[in-house]
Amino acid sequence: MGGHLRRGVKLQSRTGRETVRLKRPDGALLAAPIEIENLRAWSGPDWTPIIVDDQDRPVLVMHAKTQLYVLADADLLSTHGLKTLNGARTAVALLDIVRSEDAPIMFDLTLHGMQRTRNLLRLMLEPPLLGMTLVLATLEVAATRP
């Protein structure tokens, strides 16, 4: 994220496991209450709250100039958050808010170690090319035997 987007941003975190009700800033509830540990909140200049917690701290925000959305706590969309029906409903509601009709949603996971570079050797050792690699190796061994 560019430095101009981080300027003045404050990331807060609750402590412990709590049942939380997420809502819009006008008070409209997002979904049923969810249980989450150490819920984080994001605030700062030029960031507009889209979804807040029950203490009115921003959980989902949008940058006023770039229209970039930031979810302060990834656990709301992770497998940990999706393990309950209320968690799954909350995740779908969050995605529905940020998604334009017929538009994709992209997640930037490079900061979390999910960046993947193209590597021919690695591709040869992963399905579906792994089978072909094993066949070629077997043929090589068979061809070099007297």
HEC profile for 88-108?
HHHHHHHHHHHCCCCCCCCCC
pLDDT at res. 110? 65
Same-domain pairing of 12 and 62: yes
Same-domain pairing of 75 and 140: no
Residues 6+ positions from 41 with CB-CB distance below 8 Å: 11, 12, 13, 14, 52, 53, 57, 58, 59, 72, 73
Q: Is the pLDDT of residue 68 over 80?
A: yes
Q: How many domains does the chain have?
A: 2
Same-domain pairing of 84 and 129: no
Q: What percent of the chain has pLDDT over 90?
A: 34
Domain with 81, as residue range(s), is 3-98
Same-domain pairing of 26 and 54: yes
Q: What is the mean pLDDT of residues 79-105?
A: 86
Residue 9 lies in a domain: yes
Same-domain pairing of 41 and 77: yes
DSSP code at position 80? T
Work out the pLDDT band at 113, boundaries 50, 70, 90.
Answer: low
Same-domain pairing of 52 and 122: no
CA gap 123, 121 in Å, rounded: 5
Residue 109 lies in a domain: no
Distance from CA of residue 72 to its chain's centroid? 10
Same-domain pairing of 14 and 85: yes
Residue 52 backbone zone (phi > 0: left; psi -120 to 50: alpha; other: beta): beta
Residue 15 lies in a domain: yes
pLDDT at res. 93? 92
Work out the pLDDT band at 52, boundaries 50, 70, 90.
Answer: very high
pLDDT at res. 59? 95
Same-domain pairing of 91 and 129: no
The mean predicted confidence, pLDDT, of the chain is 85
Same-domain pairing of 21 and 84: yes
Residue 105 lies in a domain: no
Same-domain pairing of 92 and 125: no
Higher model confidence: residue 36 or residue 105?
A: 36
